[in-house]
Amino acid sequence: MSERRQLINLAYRLLGSLADAEDVVQETYARWYAMTRQQQEAIESPGAWLTTVAGRICLDLLGSARVRRERYVGEWIPEPLPDRTEWSNGWPGGGPVDPADRVTLDESVNMAFLVVLEAMAPAERVAFILHDVFRYSFAEVAEIVGRTPAACRQLAWLARRRIRASQGPATPAGRQAGIVREFKQAWEAKDIDALVGLLDPDATGTADGGGLVSAMLRPMEGGERIARAFVTVAGLAPGLAILERTVNGQPGLVLQQDGVTVVVLAFDVAGDRIKRIWSVLNPDKLRPWTTD
């Protein structure tokens, strides 16, 4: 069971969904316990075996996920994760332990990174995450992906190139937090000019309602359009509380109505401007943010 945290971390990065990651880990352990004691003892490295099985399950799921997401209502955004100290359902010493409390929040789970992963072919994504994030050798990756080590090396190189092409100049975390705070204050004040000044002219806003709540079905483009849309939302929901929170390891915002989280916002900040905003409204993806 000491491998569980590693498996949750791997599966979440591969699938972008905590619920799916939990299912993968459960299935992986089910296969382990389905073996006889003699079969288990014959496995030289149980950790490596569990990782191999979890990786293969994820690879299969990524293929079927593409089909599911073609039928998904609107845009699909990876499931946002809170910081461990903001986890509503508890953490060690403060209530029941939830799997997300064991997801290490680093640059490989920020929303911009996960969105780029979504555009990759399943084998490319698995090869890149296993090698570049979890430091598995290409020989080990090849066993999981079912390709040659050379092919896996090429897949990881392609993925690396995609990641580099999507990244702008790094913005220090403190500056990111400051810009998100300024956005929050301008939003609360319904100051369109201030919001426009914080947004890149070519900024993109994407919402994920999953067909369960009302949300725009296509990304919105243009800083001014996005600013006006946010001011409209503020006018339609006067009782909305806007809270600064950590979203996938980076500064973000959480919207609460009567104490219930209804939207989680993640930001991509480049320089002194916000380039992308992801708004997750799908209640199925807000489970970690909702107090029981």
Which pair of tokens denotes residue 267? 């930001």
Cβ within 8 Å of residue 277, ≥6 positions away: 203, 204, 205, 206, 226, 265, 266, 267, 268
pLDDT at 234: 83
pLDDT at 183: 97
State the Cα–Cα distance between residues 113 and 160, nearest whole angstrom: 11
State the Cα–Cα distance between residues 130 and 90, nearest whole angstrom: 29
pTM metric for this prediction: 0.88
pLDDT along the chain (292 residues), means of 10: 87 93 95 96 94 95 80 90 64 45 78 92 95 95 95 96 84 92 96 97 95 86 96 85 94 93 95 95 90 50
pLDDT at 14: 95
